[in-house]
Structure 1
Amino acid sequence: MTEPAFDVVVVGAGPAGSAAALEAARAGMSVALLERGPYPGAKNVYGGVVYGRVLDDLVPGWEQTLPVQRWVTRRSTMMLTERQALTVDFRTENWGGPPYNGATAHRADLDSWLASHAQEAGAVLVTSTTATGLLRDAHGTVTGVRTDRPDGDLRAKVVIACDGVNSFLAHEAGLFADVPGKRAAHTALGVKETLALPRELIEERFGVRGRHGQDIEIIGCTGDVPGGGFLYTNLDSVSIGVVLSLTGLAAAAVRPEEVLARLKEHPAIAPLVQGAQLKEYSAHLLPEGGYEAMPELAGDGILVAGDAAGMCLAAGIWLEGVNYALGAGMHAGRAAAAAVRADDTSRSGLAGYRRALEESFVLADHRRLRRVPGLVFSDRVQHLYPRLVCDMAEAFFTVDNPRPKPGLRKLALTAARAHGLKARHLLSDALTALRSFA
């Protein structure tokens, strides 16, 4: 039998992959980090919010070197109808300095930064290389990956699949219980534009200064397609986009760029992006099924992490993925190293990975919020509640003398009747939210 060239091969140099490679290399393992682009981040077009507290363990002192665009000090949730907008806006100076809460960053910068730390720890970065399949021994245990390199395959004691939402390696390993139509139902399409704006104009329009910035998450902005929107400030650009249900997009027979164009034209959004110049348009598939749609996380000789494992939290007021990828990658690297040291890279030998994730925020958050994706993508949250809440707000703030001001109870009952809201639906949704967020 050919001796493995590496203890660990990590496929994909995104946040999960680089975190896994970093931890495994630190543990003394020989590690190869495969990236199909010419450099980490080359194929990524993400520009969004990174929640970096998990980096305290991975890269101590990360705040000093992370390629930050802006530190998020304003966090807003916006509900839209065709002509209305209601925003809950929170800002704090506490997020503008250590310990920071979140930051906007470009993935091309972030991925290269994190991969460089993995290299410094001893990982070998192999770029412009695609893993085309798994290598197995006579017992079916994964023993490495096939590649499109002229010099052939890479053998390893453990493979960590961080190869994105369509993880071919995880599917080949049998970690997903494939059901026809299930993957599409648990997958969304994110489309985003990066729009250039002068730095001083961003600060004026969004009410921020210096390296402070704003993150706006938007509900009710995608028309007949279940989904949501976002608007983030970078240093001299803004990122605006929508996340759309794949099945809903197909049923509505509408193009994603049309949905995004309508969001940009909304009266609450248009003044913020007026005069901006398009720098980049991008589209990317996202796992949106949450805890219930995740695959098995370990097999004989293989672990899966990040988007490849469906670790994206789409919970309406939260849209997070990078922090879960970093946490999962970190624990995958540690679990792989422990299994190699114990000379047991079987499924049971790698089972410590899931136990560690269950005890960490990664699976604890997803498990607690497992009902939320279904709630957020429901017709009531997508359409009825934004209209109901905006109508209530409009009626509450309308001065209609000589009539007396209406009470909130009367406004709520009037709005509920006008929009056909049933008490049982409100109670059901309230219970789901209470169980998830309480």
Structure 2
Amino acid sequence: MSEDKFDAIIVGAGLAGSTAGYLLAKQGLQVLVVERGNSAGSKNMTGGRIYSHSLEKIMPNFAKEAPIERKITREKISLMTRESNVTLDFYSDRLGIQGSDSYSVLRGVFDSWLADKAEEAGCEMIYGIRVDDLMVRDGRVCGVIAGEDELEAEVTILADGVNSLLAKKLRYHGELKPIQLAVGAKEVIELPSQVIEDRFQCLENEGTAWLFAGTPSAGRVGGGFLYTNKSSISLGVVGTLSELIKGNTSVPQMLENFKQHPAIAPLIKGGKLLEYSGHLVPEGGLKMVPQIIGDGVLVVGDAAGFCLNLGYAVRGMDLAVGSAECAAKAVIAAKEAGDFSARSLQRYQKNLNNSFVMKDMTLYQKFPRFLEDTPRIFADYPNMAANMMLEMFVMGGQPAQPLRKSMLKHVKEIGMMNIAKDVWKGVRSL
């Protein structure tokens, strides 16, 4: 390890950490990224999909080189019960327009590629090292402590993921609340490319993103997801911690039930399990964002709570990249001014406020509370949708009822006023 003082030390080689390292090194700053895993992405169990716009801005045409899996050109959203699955299926080649497209990714290989790009730009990477603490003098962060080593820097960027222990040591946040976190379990299941394309009606190199509400999370706040890769499928479930403790079904059992559902089992038939993993997901939205700026320190990505679950879309990777860009610009300006105080680094907040990151976090700040307060989305509405479909498509030889009457019967089970209130709250939160 170098004994020199770095311009910046970044803790974590995920998307946020490597992006910040890449941008800073390109501007000639001396940068060190410290990653506790044996390689970038080796401990990253999140993922499935990256919206390309933020990384495309930094690395134009990155998808031609990066180890992406499939371009997402089909979106599916399902309301699932134990026996049924009602799905909205949308295909469009417009989903694949460069700069506003998205890709399925396997984070182990994708993060490693991005870290290599940072290293090529001049960033120094160290793997297999855990940062135990921060060096703080007179209230200012001056570097990191890793084992017996003390590494100094003008600024330290915390990109150490959900529930950042280093940000907690600075008292930037306290104990995270169960309502702010979700637990996910994911399997990567190997299938031949041609089988995937046949089963999911995909063209070569194109793929499907599929989100589920209802039984995947045992009728509680959460859901299921499926992403098609080149020769595998990423399949998983997510449940909010505060809801999981109310039920009797564990996350691993939820995933097993999901795999055995009659709508899912044929899609993964004959597949080989390649990977099983679990991870924490920030779910609190804007209200979860902790203090992110201090003297000599910035917080980015998941460590800053930058994640959005909108039900029809889950975003975290583009926010991680975007926040890293905002942080890098602030550090570059601080370097030019020779001032790494919190006042100087406030440029980070200004950059965030002017970017899609904070604008989107602000726009959707009410949505996490809407999901929390509307449990009907995960139980009653999937049942209502399934019952309506049964009324339409099952012919039992009995005299038919007017469609309006048969549909209204199931609406009344939830209540017109309840549905109207839920729609109104949902529209307002979005």
TM over 0.5: yes
Once the two structures are TM-superposed, the CA of residue 428 in structure 1 deviates from its matched residue by 3.0
Instruction: Provide the identity percentage.
Output: 35
Aligned to 2:145: 146
Counterparts of 2:196 and 2:346 in 1: how far apart (Å)?
Answer: 48
Corresponding letter in the other structure for 2:261: H
Once the two structures are TM-superposed, the CA of residue 400 in structure 1 deviates from its matched residue by 6.1
Gaps of 5+ in 2: none
CA contact (8 A) 2:370 2:429 kept: no
Once the two structures are TM-superposed, the CA of residue 47 in structure 1 deviates from its matched residue by 4.7
Selected match of 2:199 from 169, 192, 205? 205
Counterparts of 2:164 and 2:400 in 1: how far apart (Å)?
Answer: 60
Aligned to 1:421: 415
Aligned to 2:376: 380
Give the 3-state SS of the residue equivalent to 1:336 in structure 2. helix
Counterparts of 2:292 and 2:315 in 1: how far apart (Å)?
Answer: 19
Counterparts of 1:188 and 1:24 in 2: how far apart (Å)?
Answer: 32
Give the 3-state SS of the residue equivalent to 1:242 in structure 2. strand
Aligned to 1:394: 390
Matched, 1:216 2:215: no
What pairs up with 1:99-178 in 2 under 5 angstroms?
A: 99=99, 101-138=101-138, 140-148=139-147, 150=148, 152-176=149-173, 178=174
Counterparts of 2:347 and 2:20 in 1: how far apart (Å)?
Answer: 15
Once the two structures are TM-superposed, the CA of residue 100 in structure 1 deviates from its matched residue by 5.7
Corresponding letter in the other structure for 1:432: K
Cα 1:97–1:224 shift into 2, 3 Å: closer
Corresponding letter in the other structure for 2:142: T
Give the 3-state SS of the residue equivalent to 1:75 in structure 2. strand
Matched, 1:233 2:239: no
* Structure 2 length-normalised TM: 0.94
Corresponding letter in the other structure for 2:144: V
Counterparts of 1:285 and 1:331 in 2: how far apart (Å)?
Answer: 24
Q: CA deviation digits over 1:157-210, x for unaligned, max 9?
A: 11110001020111112221x26xx43221111100111112211111111121
Corresponding letter in the other structure for 2:162: V
Once the two structures are TM-superposed, the CA of residue 95 in structure 1 deviates from its matched residue by 3.5
Counterparts of 2:143 and 2:361 in 1: how far apart (Å)?
Answer: 30
Once the two structures are TM-superposed, the CA of residue 44 in structure 1 deviates from its matched residue by 2.0
Cα 1:405–1:398 shift into 2, 3 Å: farther
Corresponding letter in the other structure for 2:425: T
Corresponding letter in the other structure for 2:166: L
Matched, 1:244 2:239: yes
* Structure 1 length-normalised TM: 0.92
Gaps of 5+ in 1: none
Aligned to 2:306: 311
Corresponding letter in the other structure for 2:198: E
Once the two structures are TM-superposed, the CA of residue 394 in structure 1 deviates from its matched residue by 2.5
Counterparts of 2:4 and 2:312 in 1: how far apart (Å)?
Answer: 45
Matched, 1:272 2:272: no
CA contact (8 A) 1:173 1:299 kept: no
CA contact (8 A) 1:32 1:123 kept: yes
Once the two structures are TM-superposed, the CA of residue 398 in structure 1 deviates from its matched residue by 3.8
Give the 3-state SS of the residue equivalent to 2:177 in structure 1. helix
Counterparts of 2:260 and 2:103 in 1: how far apart (Å)?
Answer: 26
CA contact (8 A) 2:52 2:99 kept: no
Counterparts of 2:341 and 2:407 in 1: how far apart (Å)?
Answer: 58
Corresponding letter in the other structure for 1:124: E
Counterparts of 2:68 and 2:336 in 1: how far apart (Å)?
Answer: 37
| CA RMSD of superposed structures (Å) | 1.9
Give the 3-state SS of the residue equivalent to 1:296 in structure 2. coil
Once the two structures are TM-superposed, the CA of residue 96 in structure 1 deviates from its matched residue by 4.2
CA contact (8 A) 2:220 2:375 kept: no
Aligned to 2:72: 72
CA contact (8 A) 1:145 1:155 kept: yes
Counterparts of 1:185 and 1:157 in 2: how far apart (Å)?
Answer: 36
Cα 1:219–1:322 shift into 2, 3 Å: same
Give the 3-state SS of the residue equivalent to 2:132 in structure 1. strand
Q: CA deviation digits over 1:251-281, x for unaligned, max 9?
A: 3233211100111111111111112111111
Once the two structures are TM-superposed, the CA of residue 341 in structure 1 deviates from its matched residue by 1.9
Give the 3-state SS of the residue equivalent to 2:186 in structure 1. strand
Counterparts of 1:305 and 1:421 in 2: how far apart (Å)?
Answer: 43
When structure 1 is superposed on structure 2, of 113-122 and 79-88 the one drifting more is 113-122
Give the 3-state SS of the residue equivalent to 1:251 in structure 2. coil
Selected match of 2:253 from 258, 265, 268? 258
Once the two structures are TM-superposed, the CA of residue 332 in structure 1 deviates from its matched residue by 1.0
Once the two structures are TM-superposed, the CA of residue 396 in structure 1 deviates from its matched residue by 3.1
Give the 3-state SS of the residue equivalent to 2:327 in structure 1. helix
When structure 1 is superposed on structure 2, of 233-242 and 93-102 the one drifting more is 93-102
Q: CA deviation digits over 1:222-265, x for unaligned, max 9?
A: 11542110011111111110011122222323321110011111
Give the 3-state SS of the residue equivalent to 1:396 in structure 2. helix
What pairs up with 1:40-79 in 2 under 5 angstroms?
A: 40-79=40-79
Selected match of 1:322 from 317, 320, 323? 317
Once the two structures are TM-superposed, the CA of residue 93 in structure 1 deviates from its matched residue by 2.1
